Amino acid sequence: MNKSHFNRRDFIKAAGVIGGLSFSCAVFSMANKPPMGRVVIIGGGYAGTTAAKYIRLWSLGAVEVIVIEKSSQFVSCPMSNLVLGGTRTIHDLTFSYDLVKKNHGVKWVEDEVISINTEVKKVMMKRGEISYDRLIVAPGVDFNYEVLPELKTTEAQQKIPHAWKAGWQTVNLRKQLEAMPDGGVFVMTIPKAPYRCPPGPYERACQVASYFKTNKPSSKVIVLDANAEVISKKGLFLKAWAELYPSIVDYRPDSPIKSVDVASKTISTDFEKIKAHVLNVIPPQTAGKPAKMANLLEPDYPWCEVDFLTYESKTVPYVHIVGDSVASGLPKSAHIATSQARVCASAIVELMKGQSPDPAPVFANTCYSYVDDKQAMHVANVFRYDAPKKIMVPAEGGGVSAKPSQEEGVYAKAWAQNIWADVLT
């Protein structure tokens, strides 16, 4: 299948005739050890699924790969802000895992991890346990509700969704926007960086403003940013708000939230109290729960330090971390997650062969943001491994769009189709 023409209809048509390799209850011992060993991957998002695919490809099937993922379907966070703008549905962003299982022999366990014993190399789930030779932890992000305990419950999040993991909360937030009266106020908050998808909140403000401009022109978007300024594509977003939504978007930097009254949808900062018709609070973020279970987080820092040649934990041997949970100066994006996953997959295959991994990995990151229903803009960078510093650093090349355009909107669609095809087929 030509990736440039890959779309959801083709995907569903192909996946519909395939039987998956899922296990509802599993006890995987190492009694029948595969030729090169077993890799268990926790998390079936962009990072985890990519790592699974490429370990199978590059080991020529000699490494057994088992993915543990509690969700039955893949739901893409990239492009999910368009659901709020009304040009996509959550159905457009939801895919089956069947093709990656079928095409690459990845084994799949639909279950939830409850504990990890790195001493005996075992993962415990609600309905079974799995032993491993190497473990990849790719859980994405979790939310830190210590400063906002009033939003921790499902009931509170139904009323005030974060919608920062695409799914039911995205649909819920869209329904709230549709039900809001013209002249209403939508308030959204942005946590201190780092968080998943640096430009995502600013794109969200554009998408909601675009919907209001067409359907509820007297409504307002108030953005309360805990950061001192727009942290990604600053000039482009500020210009887009000024030119496209001058009477709609009200951006307020240096505005961390102190408390939320769930019942009245009132938010408090150091400077003011604001009552919203629709309130969208994006909480502070940390590495996902499985990373905590394996004791992979740094003291007083909610992310995981890794060796950037292998993505093996600096504190726990034979455990690798890829994706949003990694501590680095790189953006926490889907493209970075898949790039890290491929480096990790290659390194694991070489390590399991008894050989050395690539000493100088290089990869790129591209991130598109839509400013309305058709126009998008991008930021792109190349990163290389700096051996003396032992980190990934920006290389020459890359940059940002001169301005949003419909042409870049087309490129953004192609980017999404290509990354979905790469991860899931």
Q: In the CATH scheme, what is the homologous superfamily, with its name and number, of domain 149-283?
A: FAD/NAD(P)-binding domain (3.50.50.60)
Q: In angstroms, rounded to a whole number, what is the distance separating the alpha carbons of residues 319 and 305?
A: 11
Q: State the burial class of residue 29 (Cβ atoms within 10 Å of its Cβ: 0-12, 13-18, 19+).
A: exposed
Give mean pLDDT, residues 392-410: 94
Whether 325 and 141 have beta carbons less than 8 Å apart is answered as yes
Specify the pLDDT at position 20: 39
Three-state SS annotation for 15-73: HCCCCCCEECCEEECCCCCCCCCEEEEECCCHHHHHHHHHHHHHCCCCCEEEEECCCCC
CA distance 227 to 169: 24
Amino acid at 212: F
CA–CA distance from 63 to each of 36, 38, 51, 236 (Å)?
Answer: 5, 6, 12, 45
- Do residues 423 and 11 touch, judged by C-beta distance below 8 A? no
Q: Tokens representing 27?
A: 């006890």
Specify whether the CB–CB gap between 393 and 384 falls below 8 A. Answer: yes
- State residue 300's pLDDT score: 84
Residue 298's pLDDT band, with cuts at 50, 70 and 90, is confident
For the segment 109-137, the average pLDDT, to the nearest whole number, is: 98
Condensed to tens digits (0 to 9), the pLDDT of residues 237-269 reads 999 999 999 999 999 999 999 999 999 999 999
Looking at residue 24, its pLDDT comes to 46
Mean pLDDT computed over every residue of the chain = 93
Domain residues of the chain, as ranges? 3-143+286-360+405-424, 149-283
Mean pLDDT of 276-292: 98
pLDDT at 299: 85
Q: Residue 18: what pLDDT?
A: 35
For 163-188, the pLDDT digits (tens) are: 999 999 999 999 999 999 999 999 99
Distance CA 287, CA 404 (A): 32
Please state, as a whole number, how many other Cβ atoms lie within 10 Å of the Cβ of residue 270: 9
- pLDDT computed for residue 13 by the predictor: 46
> Is 21's pLDDT higher than 60?
no
pLDDT at 28: 66
Which stretch of 29-38, 105-114, 140-149 has the lowest confidence by average pLDDT?
Answer: 29-38
Give the per-residue SS3 of 159-207.
HCCCCCCCCHHHHHHHHHHHHCCCCCEEEEEECCCCCCCCCHHHHHHHH
What band does 26 get if pLDDT is binned at 50, 70 and 90?
A: low
38 or 25, higher pLDDT: 38
CA–CA separation, 309 vs 184, rounded Å? 50
- Residue 19 is predicted with a pLDDT of 36
Domain spanning 3-143+286-360+405-424, CATH architecture: 3-Layer(bba) Sandwich (3.50)
Which pLDDT belongs to residue 58?
Answer: 98
Greater confidence (35 vs 155) lies with 155
- Do 3-143+286-360+405-424 and 149-283 share a fold? yes
33-47, 151-165, 339-353: which has the minimum mean pLDDT?
Answer: 33-47
Q: How many CA within 13 A on the CB side of residue 250?
A: 10
Q: Is the pTM of this model over 0.85?
A: yes
108 contact partners, CB below 8 Å, separation of at least 6: 20, 21, 22, 23, 44, 66, 67, 69, 97, 101
Residue 2 has pLDDT above 80, yes or no: no
16 has a pLDDT exceeding 50: no
Report the pLDDT value the prediction gives residue 6, as an integer from 0 to 100: 43
User: Nearest 5°: phi and psi at 368?
Assistant: -100, 150
